[in-house]
Amino acid sequence: MKIIDLSVPFIEGKDVITQLQDKLPVYCGHECYAYDLHIKSHRGTYFETSAHVFRDGKNTADVTVSDMVLPGYCMRCTASDRCITADHFEKLLGDIAANSAVLIDTGQDRTQYFSRDAAQWLASHNVKLMGSNTSGYDTGFVNPTGFFMDLFRAEIPIIANLVNLDLLPKENFQIITLPLKIEGICTVPCRVIVLINA
């Protein structure tokens, strides 16, 4: 079995600020280190749920573990099209099994984004989780495509800032996503790995 880590590390001072706690306990003559952490939610590899857009949506602690251990598909979308649409999913993935994760590899182009009908395609195929290595899933806050509206209405969480997608096959792998289980939060850091049967 081959195991591939899709997560980026947190960088001290940029993504996380650590401070050694005062008055560390001593165990057998050695100080036991403990840290206070200040973590930015939308840095590193992170997991985001529908509560990011909808106040009554699911938070990270609401997502069941069974929805984070899934069979996966990896779609390569390295064409010059900046907007990834439902047509891309239909052409490059086609008929996929329900209750799966879909990962989108944009190659070296981190400027691609998704159309609203792309979210509708994912919802109509009962996708449980989607992720990508693109830097933005939508065009932003000015003239957005509305991708997150339909994606999060269907309760499909995302995993962002993935790496090593070029090492994945198109299908026949399992993805495991382990976000921090923090109540009342819509976005948290996570570790994402893929298992491929050799």
SS (H, E, C) 73-118: EEEECCCCCCEECHHHHHHHCCCCCCCCEEEEECCCCCCCEECHHH
CB atoms inside a 10 Å sphere around CB 132: 25
pTM above 0.85, yes or no: yes
Single-letter residue type at 13: G
Per-position pLDDT tens, the chain of length 198: 999 999 999 888 888 888 989 988 899 999 898 888 898 888 899 999 999 999 999 999 999 999 999 999 999 987 677 889 999 999 999 999 999 999 999 987 767 889 999 999 999 999 999 999 987 888 777 778 889 999 999 999 999 999 999 999 999 999 999 999 999 999 999 999 999 987
Contact 59, 49 (CB under 8 A): yes
Superfamily of domain 2-10+42-196 in CATH is Putative cyclase (3.50.30.50)
